[in-house]
Amino acid sequence: MKVLVPVKRVVDYNVKVRVKSDQTGVDIANVKMSMNPFDEIAVEEATRLKEKGVATEIVAVSCGVAQCQETLRTAMAIGADRAILVETQEELQPLAVAKLLKALADKEQPQLVILGKQAIDDDANQTGQMLAALLDWPQATFASKVELGDGKATVTREVDGGLETVSLTLPAIVTTDLRLNEPRYVTLPNIMKAKKKPLETVKPEDLGVDVTPRLKTLKVSEPPARQAGVKVADVAELVDKLKNEAKVV
């Protein structure tokens, strides 16, 4: 079974981004970039499926600037067999990415597409569901457990208040939640091996997809700052403040 794993290059989760003074966006010049953590979980899950003999080939895909090649090399160091970069300088919004991925899914014919539930830059939480809709495939979002067999995927999902299990007829889309697995550390020999794995580059035009952004960002601003309060000396003072000043207890 072939598994397609889309991965996104994002600002590393440890970086606190700054809004640009002209309010055109956040300043991402010279900040550390990494693979979206949820996508890393997706690559790990695909790799485990291959190690179990369920998956036969893992194809990592990224959409964006040329530097996304680094993200794809990381995916191949974890376990992807080959990679495809859809290279463009254009700002890519989730609907455009879903259309690019649909074009690649039509070509590659995977049985499973597994990707992160959300990217930690735009926090949109859309791409997987949109891809499922465009392909007319079933979906299981926010997965914490995935089992494959008999042409079906049985997926446990993290939902509000607990867990839900659904069964999907393959081909299907799964989006990952944090507890699905803990991605392995990438070893140096695997990084070296990943450099030799094939990486193909295509353009959105080659796939016949118009990626023009649909949403126009008018401005990006700092959130209203919360003022730091006071330190209290002890529990008695805390209780006094809560009762008499904040009046919340």
Partner 1 sequence: MAILVVAEHDNAHLRGATLNTITAAQRLGGEVHVLVAGAGVGGAAQAAAQVAGVAKVLSADGAALAEGLAENVAAQVLALAQGYSHILFPATAYGKNVAPRVAAKLDVAQISDIVGIESADTFERPIYAGNAIATVQSADATKVITVRTTAFDAAAATGGSAPVESVPAVADSGKSSFVGREVAKSDRPELTAAKAVVSGGRGMGSAENFKLLEPLADKLGAAMGASRAAVDAGYAPNDWQVGQTGKIVAPQLYVAVGISGAIQHLAGMKDSKVIVAINKDAEAPIFGVADYGLVADLFTAVPELTKAL
Which parts of 54-113 interact with partner 1 (CB under 8 A)? 93-95, 98
Tokens found for residue 70: 């680094």
Give whichever of 15 and 199 is closer to partner 1, judged by the CB atom: 15
Evaluate whether 92 touches 211 at the Cβ level (below 8 Å). Answer: yes
Nearer to partner 1, 76 or 131 (CB): 131
Q: Does residue 176 touch partner 1 according to CB under 8 A?
A: no
Exactly one of 124, 151, 187, 198 binds partner 1 (CB under 8 A); that residue is: 124
Bridge partners, 172 (sequence order): 112
- Applying CB under 8 A, among 7, 80, 142, 202 the residue interacting with partner 1 is 142
Among 22, 53, 123, 150, binds partner 1 (CB under 8 A): 123
Contact 112, 5 (CB under 8 A): no
- Segment 201 to 220, residues that bind partner 1, using CB under 8 A: 213-220
246: contact with partner 1 by CB under 8 A: yes
- For the chain, the residue count is 249
Place of tokens 């900040």: 31
Separation of alpha carbons 131 and 95, rounded Å: 8
Q: Whose Cβ is closer to partner 1: residue 53's or residue 161's?
A: 161
CB of 37 to partner 1, least distance (A): 9
Min. distance of Cβ 61 from partner 1 in angstroms? 18
Lookup: tokens for 143: 């997965």
Site for partner 1 in 147-166 (CB under 8 A): 154, 157-166
Give the residue carrying structure tokens 């809004």: 19
Number of chain positions touching partner 1 (CB under 8 A) = 80
**Does residue 230 touch partner 1 according to CB under 8 A?**
yes
How crowded is residue 193: how many other Cβ atoms within 10 Å of its Cβ? 12
Helix (H) or strand (E) holding 10: strand 9-11
Shortest approach of partner 1 to residue 171 CB, angstroms? Answer: 10
* Minimal distance, residue 34 CB to partner 1, in Å: 14
Residue 57 CB, shortest distance to partner 1, in Å, is: 24
Instruction: Give the single-character DSSP code of 189.
Output: H
When asked if residue 196 is in the footprint of partner 1 (CB under 8 A), the reply is no
d(CA 104, CA 82): 14
Give the H or E element holding residue 59: strand 57-64
Q: Which of residues 15-44 bind partner 1 (CB under 8 A)?
A: 16-17, 19, 26, 38
- At 172, phi and psi to the nearest 5? -150, 170
